[in-house]
């Protein structure tokens, strides 16, 4: 995996609205592999904070734990992206 891909996985893992299933679809890695990447890459205190958030119920990192209304991967507030650039008005 490239550094850019690892950075994106970490970014997605930190986001509360991005489920592990979305990371698996996009990168082909399981939740346990995401946890290993986070443990290896983050400082120990940052990793512990992230794990606490994921397990506390604040985060909805699993589709099964989510409200049925939040099953989409893309936020309605997210700007449309084309060719990896934010489209301009």
pLDDT, residue 32, reads 93
Per-residue pLDDT of the chain (89 residues; tens, 9 = 90+): 889 999 999 999 988 888 888 899 899 999 999 999 999 999 999 999 999 888 876 556 666 655 555 445 555 555 555 445 544 44
pLDDT, residue 56, reads 74
Answer yes or no: are the C-beta atoms of 80 and 87 closer than 8 Å.
Answer: yes
pTM of structure:
0.64
pLDDT, residue 19, reads 87
Bridging pattern class, strands 81-82 and 85-86: antiparallel
Answer yes or no: are the C-beta atoms of 70 and 19 closer than 8 Å.
Answer: no
Q: What token pair was written down for 83?
A: 């060719």
pLDDT, residue 49, reads 92
Q: Which residues contact 29 (CB under 8 A, 6 or more apart)?
A: 9, 23, 37
pLDDT, residue 54, reads 84
Domains of the chain by residue range: 1-62
């Amino acid at each position: 995996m490239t550094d850019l891909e690892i950075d994106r996985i970490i970014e997605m893992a930190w986001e509360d609205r991005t489920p592990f299933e979305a990371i698996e679809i996009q990168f082909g890695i399981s939740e346990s592999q995401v946890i290993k990447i986070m443990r290896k890459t983050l400082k120990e205190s940052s990793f512990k904070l992230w794990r606490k958030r994921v397990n506390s119920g604040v985060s909805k990192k699993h589709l099964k734990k989510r409200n049925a209304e939040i099953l989409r991967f893309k936020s309605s507030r997210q700007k449309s992206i084309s060719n990896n650039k934010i489209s301009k008005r």
